[in-house]
C-alpha cells in the first residue's frame, strides 16, 4: 500500500485540473461534490498508508517512494520522492481529514458565491501543495510545497479581490512570506554546499559528521529555517500577515490560516530535529520566539472585537506554543499540539463562520449576545472548541498544551512561567468569546432576530470536528503517550533512548495547568457576565499599557514606519525621479542627440547626383588605392 501513497497527491491534483479546466461547465453542484470527494479519496489513501505503516515493525516505519528523477545538474540531483514515516503520515492524516471536513463545509458555506469552481480548484490545489510539503523526502520538494501553499494562501486570501482590503491582505501575506522563504532558500543552499544532498535521510545521517554540534554553519542553517518558519507560521516578527489574512473566506481561514498551512513551519522544524539538536542555541531562539509570540498575541487577542481576528491572534498564540515545544526539543509534543490545534481551531473558525453566516456577515462580538438560543448546534461546537483551546481538562488542548508546558518546565523554566501566564490568557479570551457571543443579552435586536442555524452541510462537519477536538487529546495521554512513542523514531532515526519522565511531576503540572485554565474561565465569567464594567476598570488602571495592547503594540504602524513607507518612498523616488529623469532622461537624451546628428547629416543630402557620384568615385579610388598598396 505504501508504494501507492502517490495516489494521495494524484487525487487533489486531478481535482484541481478538472475543476480549473471544466469547472464552470460542470456547474457548482458537481464541483461541490467532486472537490470534497477527491480529498476524501486522499484521506482514504492516507488512512490505508497509516494502517500499513502500523503493521510494520518500528524500525521499518520509514519508506521512500521515488516517483521520478526530478533534476540532475552536474553532481546535484533531486528526486521527486515521497517519504512516508510516522511524522509525515500523521501530518497527512490531519491535513486530509480536516481538509475533507472543511471542503464539505465549504460546499454549504460558499454556496451563494459565483466563483465556486475557482474556489474549489484553489482548495484542491492547496491540499496538493500541503501534501507535497509534508510528504516530500527532500528539502527542495518540501520547498515546492512550501511555495505552493504560500501561493494558494495568497490566492484565497484575495479570493474576494473586489474588496481592496482582501487584495491588500493577500499581497501582505505574500510579501511577508517572501521574507521567510528567502531564509528557507538560503538554508537549503547551505545544506547543499555543506552536505551535498538534500534528501532528508542523507542530510540527517551526515549532518552530525559534517557539522560538529554547535558549529556556526548548522546554527546559521537552523536560524534561517527559524526565519522561514516565522514567516509561514506567523511568529514574531513576521506574524503581521495572519490577522489580515482573515479577509479570505472563513473556511479558508480555518483550513489554511489555522489548521494546516501555518503549521508548516512547526512541521519543518520538527522534521529537521536532527539539525536543531546540533544547534541548541537555535533551539532556544525558537522557544523564545514561540513563547513571546504566544504571550503577545494572546494579549492582543484579549482586546480584539472581531470574532475572526480574535481567532487569528489565538492561532498565532497557539503556534507560539508549538514553537516552544519544538524549541525545547519536545517535537512529539509540538506535533501533538499541531494535530489537536488543527481540529479545535478549524472547529472554532468554522463555528465562527456559521455565526457569521447566521448574522449576515457580522463579526463584531459587541453586536452579538445570547446566540445560544438561536444557534444551538453552533453554540455547542464552539463551546467544545473554546474549551479545547482554553485547555479545560479532558478536552484535547488540555493534554497537548500540558505536554508542551511540561517539556518547557524541564528545559527552560522562564519559558514555562510565561507559558503558564499565556495559558491563563488563552482561557480568558476563549471564554470571553463564548460569553460575549453566546451568553448574556442580545445587543443588536435586528441581527438577533434575523439569526438562523446553518444548514446541515455546515453543521455536520462541525459536529465531526467537535468529536475530533475532544478525542484527539487522548492519543497523547500522559503516561500512555501513544503519540510520543509513535513519533519519536521519526525525530531520532539513530534511535536515541527515550527519555523517562517523572510521572508524578507530570501529574502535578497537569493539575496546575487544569486549574489555571479553569481560573481563566472563571475570570472571564467574572469579567463578562457578572461584572461587565470590570474590563473597563482594568483597562483604565492599565493606562498606557492598555492602549498599547489595544493597538496591537503598534506593530503594523512600526512596520509601516520602518519598512513599508521607506520602501514605498524609495519606489516612488525610483519611479518618479530616477526612472523619469535618469533612465527616461538618458533614453530621451540619446534620441535627442541622434536627432541632432541626423539634422546635421541631412545637410550632406544635397540631392545633387553629381556630388553623389563624386563621393562614390572618391570611395572607389580610396578602396582601390588601399587594395593596390596593401
- Which residue, 310, 304, 478, is CA-closest to 389? 310
Q: Choose between 561 and 623: whose C-beta lies nearer to another protein.
A: 623
Min dist CB 596 to another protein, Å, is: 14
Min dist CB 591 to another protein, Å, is: 19
CA gap 143, 452 in Å, rounded = 44
Q: Hey, which residues between 142 and 161 contact another protein (CB under 8 A)?
A: none
Write out the three cell numbers for 279.
Answer: 544547534
Min dist CB 585 to another protein, Å, is: 28
Q: Choose between 544 and 602: whose C-beta lies nearer to another protein.
A: 602
Q: Choose between 445 and 602: whose C-beta lies nearer to another protein.
A: 602
Q: Hey, which residues between 199 and 228 contact another protein (CB under 8 A)?
A: none
Helical H runs in 196-330?
Answer: 200-210, 216-232, 241-244, 250-254, 264-271, 273-278, 280-303, 307-327
Residues making up the chain, counted from first to last: 630
CA dihedral 87, 90, 94, 99 (to 10 degrees): 80
620 binds another protein (CB under 8 A): yes
Q: Choose between 25 and 602: whose C-beta lies nearer to another protein.
A: 602
- Using DSSP's 3-state secondary structure scheme, residue 110 falls into coil
Q: Choose between 477 and 625: whose C-beta lies nearer to another protein.
A: 625
Q: Per-residue contact track with another protein, 542 to 581, x per CB under 8 A?
A: ----------------------------------------
Q: Hey, which residues between 577 and 616 contact another protein (CB under 8 A)?
A: 601-611, 613-614
- The backbone torsions φ and ψ at residue 248, rounded to the nearest 5 degrees and listed phi first, read -75, 175
Min dist CB 606 to another protein, Å, is: 6
CA gap 628, 75 in Å, rounded = 59
- The backbone torsions φ and ψ at residue 597, rounded to the nearest 5 degrees and listed phi first, read -60, -40
Write out the three cell numbers for 409.
Answer: 518546565
Q: Hey, which residues between 429 and 468 contact another protein (CB under 8 A)?
A: none
List 21, 213, 480, 624, residue binding another protein (CB under 8 A) = 624
How many chain residues bind another protein (CB under 8 A)? 21
- Using DSSP's 3-state secondary structure scheme, residue 85 falls into strand
Q: Choose between 504 and 609: whose C-beta lies nearer to another protein.
A: 609
Min dist CB 612 to another protein, Å, is: 9
625 binds another protein (CB under 8 A): yes
Q: Choose between 544 and 630: whose C-beta lies nearer to another protein.
A: 630
630 binds another protein (CB under 8 A): no
Task: Please check whether residue 120 is in contact with residue 32, taking contact to mean a CB–CB distance below 8 angstroms.
Answer: yes
Query: Cell 542553517 sits at which residue?
Result: 221
CB environment 186-208: b (16+ within 10 A), e (fewer): bbbebbbebbebbbbeebbebbe
Task: Please check whether residue 241 is in contact with residue 173, taking contact to mean a CB–CB distance below 8 angstroms.
Answer: yes
Min dist CB 564 to another protein, Å, is: 55
From the list 27-35, 89-97, 367-375, 620-628, the region that binds another protein by CB under 8 A is 620-628
Min dist CB 589 to another protein, Å, is: 23
Min dist CB 625 to another protein, Å, is: 5
Rg (CA), the chain: 29
Q: Facing residues of 78 across strands? A: 71
Min dist CB 592 to another protein, Å, is: 19
Cβ contacts of 285 within 8 Å, gap of 6 or more? 223, 226, 327
Q: Choose between 75 and 600: whose C-beta lies nearer to another protein.
A: 600
The contact set with another protein (CB under 8 A) reads: 601-611, 613-614, 617-618, 620-621, 624-625, 627-628
Amino acid at each position: 500500500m505504501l508504494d501507492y501513497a502517490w495516489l494521495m497527491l494524484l487525487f487533489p491534483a486531478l481535482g484541481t485540473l478538472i475543476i480549473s479546466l471544466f469547472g464552470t461547465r460542470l456547474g457548482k453542484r458537481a464541483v461541490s461534490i467532486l472537490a470534497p470527494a477527491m480529498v476524501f479519496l486522499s484521506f482514504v489513501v492516507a488512512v490505508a498508508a497509516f494502517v500499513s505503516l502500523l503493521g510494520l515493525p518500528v524500525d521499518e516505519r520509514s519508506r521512500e517512494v521515488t516517483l521520478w528523477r526530478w533534476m540532475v545538474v552536474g553532481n546535484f540531483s533531486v528526486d521527486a520522492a515521497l517519504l512516508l514515516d510516522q511524522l509525515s503520515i500523521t501530518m497527512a492524516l490531519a491535513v486530509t481529514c480536516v481538509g475533507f471536513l472543511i471542503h464539505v463545509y465549504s460546499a454549504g458555506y460558499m454556496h451563494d458565491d459565483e466563483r465556486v469552481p475557482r474556489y474549489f480548484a484553489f482548495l484542491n490545489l492547496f491540499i496538493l501543495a500541503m501534501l507535497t510539503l509534508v510528504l516530500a523526502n527532500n528539502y527542495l520538494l518540501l520547498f515546492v510545497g512550501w511555495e505552493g501553499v504560500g501561493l494558494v494562501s495568497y490566492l484565497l486570501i484575495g479570493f474576494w479581490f473586489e474588496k481592496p482590503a482582501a487584495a491588500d491582505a493577500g499581497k501582505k501575506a505574500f510579501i511577508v512570506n517572501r521574507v521567510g522563504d528567502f531564509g528557507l532558500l538560503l538554508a537549503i543552499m547551505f545544506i547543499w554546499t555543506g552536505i551535498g544532498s538534500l534528501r532528508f535521510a542523507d542530510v540527517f545521517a551526515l549532518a552530525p559528521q559534517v557539522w560538529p554540534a554547535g558549529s556556526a554553519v548548522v546554527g546559521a542553517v537552523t536560524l534561517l529555517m527559524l526565519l522561514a518558519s516565522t514567516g509561514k507560521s506567523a511568529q514574531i516578527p513576521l506574524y503581521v500577515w495572519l490577522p489580515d489574512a482573515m479577509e479570505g473566506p472563513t473556511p479558508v481561514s480555518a483550513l489554511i490560516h489555522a489548521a494546516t498551512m501555518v503549521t508548516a513551519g512547526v512541521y519543518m522544524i520538527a522534521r529537521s530535529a536532527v539539525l536543531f539538536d546540533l544547534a541548541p542555541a537555535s533551539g532556544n531562539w525558537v522557544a523564545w520566539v514561540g513563547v513571546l509570540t504566544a504571550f503577545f498575541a494572546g494579549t492582543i487577542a484579549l482586546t480584539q472585537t472581531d470574532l475572526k481576528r480574535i481567532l487569528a491572534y489565538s492561532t498565532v498564540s497557539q503556534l507560539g506554543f508549538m514553537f516552544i515545544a519544538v524549541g525545547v526539543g519536545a517535537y512529539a509534543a509540538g506535533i501533538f499540539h499541531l494535530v489537536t490545534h488543527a481540529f479545535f481551531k478549524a472547529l472554532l473558525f468554522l463555528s465562527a463562520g456559521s455565526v457569521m453566516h447566521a448574522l449576515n456577515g457580522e463579526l463584531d462580538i459587541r453586536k452579538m449576545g445570547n446566540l445560544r438560543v438561536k444557534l444551538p448546534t453552533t453554540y455547542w461546537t464552539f463551546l467544545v472548541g473554546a474549551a479545547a483551546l482554553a485547555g479545560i481538562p479532558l478536552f484535547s488542548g488540555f493534554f497537548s498544551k500540558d505536554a508542551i508546558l511540561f517539556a518547557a518546565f524541564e528545559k527552560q523554566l522562564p519559558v514555562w512561567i510565561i507559558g503558564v501566564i499565556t495559558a491563563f490568557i488563552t482561557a480568558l479570551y476563549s471564554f470571553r468569546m463564548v460569553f460575549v457571543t453566546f451568553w448574556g443579552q442580545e445587543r443588536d435586536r435586528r441581527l438577533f432576530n434575523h439569526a438562523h442555524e446553518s444548514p446541515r452541510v455546515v453543521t455536520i462537519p462541525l459536529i465531526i470536528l467537535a468529536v475530533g477536538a475532544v478525542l484527539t487529546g487522548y492519543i497523547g495521554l500522559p503516561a500512555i503517550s501513544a503519540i510520543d512513542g509513535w513519533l519519536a523514531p521519526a525525530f531520532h532515526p539513530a534511535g536515541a533512548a527515550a527519555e523517562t519522565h517523572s510521572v508524578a511531576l507530570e501529574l502535578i503540572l497537569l493539575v496546575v495547568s487544569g486549574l489555571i485554565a479553569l481560573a481563566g474561565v472563571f475570570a472571564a465569567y467574572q469579567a463578562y457576565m457578572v461584572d461587565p464594567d470590570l474590563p473597563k476598570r482594568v483597562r483604565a488602571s492599565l493606562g498606557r499599557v492598555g492602549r498599547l495592547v489595544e493597538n496591537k503594540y503598534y506593530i503594523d504602524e512600526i512596520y509601516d514606519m520602518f519598512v513599508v513607507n521607506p520602501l514605498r518612498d524609495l519606489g516612488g523616488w525610483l519611479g518618479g525621479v530616477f526612472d523619469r529623469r535618469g533612465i527616461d532622461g538618458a533614453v530621451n537624451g540619446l534620441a535627442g542627440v541622434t536627432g541632432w546628428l541626423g539634422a546635421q547629416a541631412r545637410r550632406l543630402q544635397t540631392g545633387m547626383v553629381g556630388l553623389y557620384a563624386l563621393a562614390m568615385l572618391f570611395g572607389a579610388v580610396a578602396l582601390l588605392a588601399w587594395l593596390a598598396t596593401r
